[in-house]
Structure 1
């Protein structure tokens, strides 16, 4: 499976235009396929006009907090030849879908490690529904006036899903559910802002604490020296820095302050526990100097890798990613990672 690679440089609007221009035809097809495939997932069909009031509220929140990214969304619309409302919908699909809009059996397993005798690494499975592996892009961002470059994994015009920057900061994420989503900055855009703005885990956490996010997530952050995970819930942030300098996270809260608000179903918790245990055991067995292919071998195994069950509404592993922040490299296997060749991108 091929991955579209996009180089985008300049001011925010120019970056958006470059991004949109490269994937204009696929974006148009994606928008026309059941309204970004949302109508393949929901019980009742949605329409763009009925979503416009909600989009407007989110757009105002994002523009107030992250004006550069709002400009980039406008540029994306121009480059792709779509409306700005459509470009905003591409950023807000997960918020529109909600945390419990469809059944789940997996939703990303992430781990990171900074070990003596080996390179820092952040790795994860990317579990999504809606056949999003057909719409994977990797975007290299070089913003004018910025001291750093950014490399992100993207789906269908999304400004960022996860990624790393040239300062050696890598960020991955997991869905966690607290049942209290609201207008604000979507976590995907927050990650992009952190990669644009921070050169280390500590700088990223300081910036993250000042953002008003829309929905619950866990973010795994790794630089050359430190691994933390930052759980977000209803405007609150809890950061855990493991003493062993490695961490594993799936889709249930780990911080005691947040565990009582976890709204994961019992079935989903079984999957999350199993993936957490398998990733913990597998990571412990990997040598400190293990390379990307050895990490992929772990990510490709069940239960970490979620198989395609032929149902568009069910999440499955649509990519596996190994980030090497010190080397500035993203190693990607798009689609089912058991069937894909590794592609390497450098920031």
Structure 2
């Protein structure tokens, strides 16, 4: 009997840990995708081998690689028809990473494929309890700083053991938005970010019935980052069919707003003029009265507890006086009140219960994105600016 131990393959997170951020992707849409795939290929291939990009860690019944591929390919036609430049990036990603197109699509559709009883997975069947709201979820704050500039502060909270699997991308663009900076999970082309035109975008999970085969919201964000301003982004959200429900936070030189969506409706949330610094905050339940009756976020979600905690924070200095800035927003993202059901979410020892995997401050007027690749309480923020295309710690 051989006593030689097999060599352990590095995990996707281990393969990412030695990379320098951001990954820069230049040229045409296909060339940009190819650059990302080449830079992240070993980690992407390892990730896909880890329970199908961790999808099967989230589902009550495993989906498996081949079933995930078949389902992902059902989304290819609507993505190509409605977001052709994004589809070209996905095709380039597959080429660069040396994976089938179906696998590249899986990476864009983790949310849709992970949620049982939604979309095409059990089309026509009775829907089981939808756990897609998660116990912990993203918390987003938009406000006007002392200099009059709109800022977005957000935690990116994800289920599925996603620690160490975030990426930072510096992307050329074909549209009026120009170059963009984005944070996204490994292999995904969109999540949140800002562009050269001064548009910033955040996103929160909300849960409404009727998910469908259509472009997923994170690819819609990738498309929005090619646009010139919040008005254009809002119009695009309203125009495009959407696979699943989300709340989009938009900020530009004119201010900020939130757009709550189901698959077929949109409602806009504007700041209350009586609130200091034009504050808007969102967790994972609908706030607009037209959409609140459709809410399917589980009763055990932390969303309302986090919202109540934000109200407590905003009643205190410096928020109550209207003098808060980016440092104060970082403190909000690091808040542990009501842990483990806190804004800064450290998880509860289950891959199905999300945790904070990134903390981000977006300053669209300065074309600046500050990213902590983990929880804000113990992970340093690194600043990136579009104008100099370099990281400054």
* TM-score bin (small chain): over 0.9
Contact persistence 2:37–2:97 (CA under 8 A): yes
User: Aligned residue for 2:80?
Assistant: 63
C-alpha deviation, 1:90, in angstroms: 0.4
Deviation at 1:27, TM superposition (A): 0.6
1:322 corresponds in structure 2 to: 361
Q: CA deviation at 1:260?
A: 0.9
> Which of residues 363, 372, 379 in structure 2 aligns to 1:333?
372
Q: Superposition RMSD on alpha carbons, in Å?
A: 1.9
Provide Cα deviations, 1:104-130, integer angstroms capped at 9, x if missing partner.
211101010125544321011111112
- Is 1:225–2:259 an aligned residue pair? no
CA distance in structure 1 between the partners assigned to 2:86 and 2:62 by the alignment: 29
Asked whether 1:278 is paired with 2:338, we answer no
CA drift at 1:344: 0.8
Question: More helix by proportion, 1 or 2?
Answer: 1
User: Is 1:76 aligned with 2:93?
Assistant: yes
Shift in CA distance, 135/274, structure 1 to aligned 2, threshold 3 Å = same
CA distance in 2 between partners of 1:300 and 1:249 (Å): 16
By how many angstroms is 1:143 displaced?
2.8
Q: SS in structure 1 opposite 2:253?
A: coil
Q: Which is bigger in relative contact order (C-alpha 8 A, separation at least 6)?
A: 1
Partner of 2:213: 183
Assess if the C-alpha contact under 8 Å between 1:227 and 1:246 holds in 2: no
TM-score in terms of structure 2 length: 0.83
> Counterparts in 2 of 1:198-347, with a 5 A limit?
198-244=227-273, 245-268=278-301, 271-283=302-314, 285-286=317-318, 290-302=324-336, 303-347=342-386
Question: What secondary structure sits across from 1:20 in the alignment?
Answer: helix
After superposition, the Cα gap between the structure-2 partners of 1:161 and 1:286, relative to the gap in structure 1 and judged at 3 Å, is: farther
SS of corresponding position for 1:321: strand
Correspondence for 2:110 among 69, 93, 116 = 93
Preserved contact between residue 41 and residue 102 of structure 1 (Cα < 8 Å) = no
Pairing 1:43-192 to 2, within 5 Å after superposition: 43-98=60-115, 100-101=130-131, 104-115=134-145, 117-143=147-173, 148-192=178-222
Distance 2:75 2:174 in 1: 26
Between the aligned partners of 2:133 and 2:287, the Cα distance in structure 1 is 22
Contact 1:119 1:289 in 2 (8 A): no
**Structure 2 Cα separation of the partners of residues 83 and 39 of structure 1:** 19
Based on CA coordinates, which of the two structures has the bigger radius of gyration?
2
CA distance in 1, matches of 2:291, 2:175: 39
Q: Using the TM superposition, name which of 175-184 and 35-44 deviates more.
A: 35-44
Unaligned ranges ≥5, structure 1: none
How many residue pairs get aligned? The number is: 344
Bigger mean CA deviation after superposition, 1-10 or 60-69: 1-10
Q: Is the Cα contact below 8 Å between 1:8 and 1:16 reproduced in 2?
A: yes
Q: Deviations over 1:153-206 (max 9, x none)?
A: 01111001101111111111111111211111111011111111x221111111
Name the SS of the counterpart of 2:153 in structure 1.
strand
**2:60 is paired with a residue of what secondary structure?**
coil
Contact 1:118/1:289, CA 8 A, preserved across alignment: no
